[in-house]
Amino acid sequence: MMELQDGAELCFPQLFNMSCRKPTLRWSETVLLKLLLFFISLTTIAINLLVIISVSHFRQLHTPTNILLLSLAVSDFLVGLVLMPAEIFRYTSCWIFGDIMCALYFYVASLTLTTSICTIVIISCDRYTAICHPLHYSKIITLTRAKYCVCLCWLWSFVFSIFYVKDELIQPGMGNSCFGECVPKYNYITVNIDIILTFIFPVTVIVVLYMRVFVAAVSQARAMRSHITAVTVHHAVTLSKKSELKAARTLGILVIVYLSCVCPYYCYSFVDVIMMNPTVIRFLIFLFYFNSCLNPLIYALFYSWFRKAIKLIVTLQILQPGSRETNIL
C-alpha cells in the first residue's frame, strides 16, 4: 500500500474513508523522480526499437542468434513502453485507470518478464551448441527452428501468465485495500511456483550451460593461439571460431547483467513472500525493469553491426531501395 502521512490528500475525496491517500513524496522529489524514470523509459523504448528495426530490416542479420535477440528486444521494448510508465505512475500518483487496467498491467508484466527469461535460456542453449558442438551447430540450430522456439517461448509465457494472475483477472482489484491503489493479490503457492519456474529452474540451466561454454571457450582460445601459423583455409575457420567466441562472451555479459538485475528481486521475494516492504520491493522492481535498458547498450558496446545499423537508421538510409541487402557485418 502507498506510504501515507496524516493530513495527506485523498485520491478520491468524494469516497471519504474508502479512498487511498496520495503518495507523500514532495513536489520536487516527484518531478525529479518522474523525469529520471521517464528518461530511462524513453531510452529503453528508443534503443530497443533500433534493435528491432535493425534485425528485421537487414537481411544479413537474419540469423538464429539474432532472431533470439529480436525476441528479447521486443520484450524489453514492452517493458519500456508499458511497464516502466505504469510503475512510475503507481509509485508517484493515485491509480485512476480502474481495476481492470490494473489487472492487465500485472498480466503484461508477467508475460513480458517470463518471455525475457525464457529467451535468455534459449540464447544460452544457442551459445552452448555453437561453442561445444560447432560442427553440428548449423544442422541443429536453423533459422526456422529459432523462429519456432521464439513462438513457443511467447506461447508459454502467455499461458503461464494467465495462471499466475488468474485471481486478478477473475476478480480485478481484489488486492486493493482502498480506491486509488493498484496492488496484486498473490497466494503463497502461486508465488513459489513462479519463483521456481521463472527463476530457480531457468537460472540453474543458464549457469550450467555458461559454465560449459566458458570451459570450452577457454580451451578453444588456447588451441587457436597455438596455431597462429596455419594455412589460409584454417585461418578462415579460426576467424569463424573467434566470431563465435566473441558472441559467446557478449551474450555471457548479457546474462550476467540480467542475473544481477533480476536476482535481488526474486531472492527478496523468496525470503519474504508475504510481508514485503513496499519501498524495497518497488526499488527492486525498477532494478528488474532497468535491465531492459541495459541489454541493447551491451549490443552497442560489443556488436559493430549494431552501431553500423544505428547509423543507417538514424540517417534514414534504410528508406533507400535495396537497403535490406546492405553489407552490415
pLDDT tens profile 275-318: 566 777 778 888 888 988 888 888 777 778 888 888 899 898 88
The pLDDT value recorded for residue 3 is: 43
Within-domain flag for 36: yes
Terminal C-alpha separation, the chain: 50
pLDDT recorded at residue 95: 85
Q: What integer is the mean pLDDT of 67-90?
A: 91
pLDDT(270) > 70: no
Alpha-helix residue ranges (DSSP H) falling in the chain: 27-57, 64-78, 84-92, 98-132, 137-140, 143-164, 166-170, 188-195, 201-225, 232-271, 278-302, 304-314
pTM as predicted: 0.84
Q: If pLDDT is split at 50, 70 and 90, which confidence band does 28 have?
A: low
Q: Which DSSP category does 39 fall into? A: H
Is residue 151 assigned to a domain? yes
In the chain, how many domains are there? 1
Q: How far is CA 128 from each of CA 66, 229, 244, rounded to the nearest angstrom?
A: 15, 28, 10
Alpha-carbon dihedral angle through residues 176, 181, 186, 187, given to the nearest 10 degrees: -30
Quick check: is 137 in a domain?
A: yes
- Tell me the per-residue pLDDT of 80-114, one tens digit each, with 9 for 90 and over: 999 998 888 887 788 888 888 888 999 999 999 89
Residue 92 is part of a domain; what is its CATH number? 1.20.1070.10
Q: Let me know: does 124 contact 209? Beta carbons within 8 Å.
A: yes
Inside any domain, residue 1:
no
Q: Say whether pLDDT at 33 is over 90.
A: no
Residue labelled with grid coordinates 601459423: 229
CA dist., res. 84 & res. 306, Å (int): 25
Query: For 229-266, what is each residue's pLDDT tens digit?
Result: 444 444 444 445 555 566 667 767 877 888 888 888 87
Q: Please identify which residue in the block is written with the cell numbers 553500423.
A: 308
Domain-embedded: residue 7: no
Beta bridge partners of 179: 19
Residue 244 lies in domain: 20-325
Does residue 75 lie within any of the structural domains? yes
What is the C-alpha to C-alpha distance for residues 177 and 205, in angstroms, rounded to an integer?
39
Q: Is residue 219 part of a domain?
A: yes
Asked if residue 10 is part of any domain, the answer here is: no
